[in-house]
Amino acid sequence: MRRPFIAGNWKMHGSRAQNAELIEGLLLGLPGQVPVDIAVCPPDVYLWEVGRLLKDSIVKLGAQTVCAESIGAFTGETSAAMLKDVGCTYVIVGHSERRTIYREDDALVARKFLAAQSQSLIPILCVGETLEEREKGQTMQVISRQLKAVLDVAAPGALQQAVVAYEPVWAIGTGKNATPEQAQEVHAHIRAEVAARDANIAARLQVLYGGSVKAGNAKEIFAMPDVDGGLIGGAALKADEFLKICAAAQAH
Ligand code: PGA
């Protein structure tokens, strides 16, 4: 059986004081063991300190992006080895904000995926269609293209050490989540695409849903058979809300 996974993507939010308060709230509300994988992804500059605050807890540390290059003259970038060095377990790659605002294309996302795995970081690979693509009936095509870009360059078996997040762009930060049925349809498609290459890996792959998940809608989304948890943006910034989402994942 797949363990549920809840990851908080803090995006460019927080301060040292706010982070400490949020982590304190999370740790107070979490028992020592839960049947859910949990991670938080703060901005890079706070990774080290948040990692110290999380120390010995069940909550893992993740980053929001990574440089595709391993070392050298890349001003402003952070390598996978550096993320590993400060205690990261996970790194998000291909988030739609990176794809759209910073023009990261499929090929670059695939290189970032490989860079992460080269340092034994677990990539959380985001895929998702825009509203325009959905309205044109291109959703599955877009998801397949984004997945293929990674699967074609990664070693066979690479998805054994990876997570996929389906994040419809139109649902991110808009308060407009995909319906559980819309999410299930795409999640099943993702699993089928992976199964076409390796059925065992597909059966074990954690596929998260992201896009306006809140305490109030988490349960019905996580109830879908191919939804294994969520990548949470806005609702990850409040301890009680995030804890409720973790509890909703646990219920399945
Ligand atoms: P949201 O963001 O939950 O605020 O919609 C999700 C994400 O971008 O990962």
Cβ of residue 230 lying under 6 Å from some atom of ligand 1: no
Cβ of residue 62 lying under 6 Å from some atom of ligand 1: no
Q: Quote the ligand 1 centre to 209 CA distance (angstroms).
A: 10
Burial class (CB in 10 A: 0-12, 13-18, 19+), 48: middle
The pLDDT of residue 197? 95
Q: Which residues have a Cβ under 8 Å from the Cβ of 232 and sit 6 or more positions away?
A: 6, 7, 8, 9, 210, 213, 242, 245
The pLDDT of residue 251? 80
Cβ of residue 229 lying under 6 Å from some atom of ligand 1: no
Q: Which residue has the tokens 């349809």?
A: 185
Instruction: Please state the atom number of ligand 1 nearest to the C-alpha of residue 174.
Output: 5
Reported pTM = 0.97
The pLDDT of residue 234? 97
Cβ of residue 241 lying under 6 Å from some atom of ligand 1: no
Spell out where the chain has E strands.
5-9, 37-41, 59-63, 90-93, 122-127, 163-166, 206-210, 229-232
Nearest CA to ligand 1 atom 7: 233
Q: Quote the ligand 1 centre to 72 CA distance (angstroms).
A: 32
Cβ of residue 177 lying under 6 Å from some atom of ligand 1: no
Instruction: Please state the atom number of ligand 1 nearest to the C-alpha of residue 97.
Output: 8
The pLDDT of residue 33? 84
The pLDDT of residue 32? 81
Instruction: Please state the atom number of ligand 1 nearest to the C-alpha of residue 214.
Output: 3
Q: Are 189 and 209 in contact (CB under 8 A)?
A: no
In the chain, which residues have pLDDT < 70? Answer: none
- Could you tell me the two tokens for 31? 């028992």
Cβ of residue 14 lying under 6 Å from some atom of ligand 1: no
Q: Quote the ligand 1 centre to 224 CA distance (angstroms).
A: 19
Q: Quote the ligand 1 centre to 183 CA distance (angstroms).
A: 14
Interatomic CA distance for residues 106 and 10, integer angstroms: 23
What are 210-252's pLDDT values in tens digits?
999 999 999 999 999 999 999 999 999 999 999 999 999 998 7
What are 181-201's pLDDT values in tens digits?
999 999 999 999 999 999 999
Q: Quote the ligand 1 centre to 43 CA distance (angstroms).
A: 15
Q: Are 118 and 70 in contact (CB under 8 A)?
A: yes
Positions annotated as catalytic residues are 95, 167
